[in-house]
Chain A
Amino acid sequence: MKNDIRRRREASDLSQADLAEAVGVTRQTINAIERDRYDPSIELAFKLALFFDCHIEEIFDPDVDLG
């Protein structure tokens, strides 16, 4: 699942460790999400949206359709 966590994090001048600390996961998890290698849980997605003060769909692009 594509996301723009890296862009938002860098725009906020935060390190992966800072963001990881803020949302309660390890730095490796933030790194994996940024590299599209791990899709976060709903709970973590909400935490990230809350942290960046936006909606989940503004951060994540699920690239799915109902067909």
Chain B
Amino acid sequence: MSSLAAHYFDGARALRHDVTLVLSGGKMKIVGRDVDREVEAQRVRISTRIASTPRWIYLPGGGACVTADNAGVDRLVHERKAQRTLHALESRPAFAAAAVFLVAALFWAIVDSGLPLAAAKVAEHIPLEAESSLGGEALAGMDQFWLQPSQLPLDQQADLSVRLAALAALAGDAPVYRLEFRASPVIGANAFALPSGIIVLTDELVKLAQADEEILAVLAHELGHVRHRHVMRRLLEGSAIALLVAGVTGDVASATSLAAAAPTLVLQTKFSRDNEREADAYGIGLLRKAGIEPRHFGAILARMEAQAPKGPMLPSFLSTHPSTDERKEFSGSR
């Protein structure tokens, strides 16, 4: 005897009818005070089970029944195995606990290697010239606010340019770059890679260096940023992270989406630190090829840090660069 209690709606009017469903001889009967229908059981469509929400039984030719008697429905029809498995996975605490660990592991794998790898692959296919308008604007913007024309003698500039070109030629896979000399009392001793391969070197860094090798070590590091397309990858990774975080927190009301800002920041600074390490490795590899001792890199980093103005101390997970100690150790200067 397969029968169960349900509500019937005819689909044309929002009126509830209490009915009994009876299944016999391949037919489904829907019987109530004002209802008497009989349909082919084969042509009835039953909604898949989700937790203990009521099940809908859609009748051929319109109209539907709904019942909270999930066990009754399951007795009436056999759901496909995939659907039953899905319901089992979604309802047992043990699976939920396992899912927490798997989600954490998967999230870590995506963030730690999957995403940077994918971004690197995609970035390779985007020509460096795509960044040229951005690079030009970035340099113009910095020129306006923080940079002044270089005071270095022209022959010194030419000498450094030639030595960097020779170093880059050794790499074999060296990217197209453009070295720019600038003075910057505001920024102090530093060098940075801008979009489209522009590398800016400050006079202050040249003065701080005790040997040309130290300057070349910093420039080799910047070449690493250009070679590994860190500008483009930062862009791709940032967009992907925004999507990923929105995917997790997107269910909640907008005010809570502030919650998405913190993890995005933490993840982006992690990518930044990873990029610095990658540029360090590239730079040091290049120095070795040129027969320049890598300890020059650690030496100039230490002097730059000692000279830099003391900002507020950031916890390491919010810092854009790895600690100088770590980088010195990497360059073999300890």
A, B in one complex: no
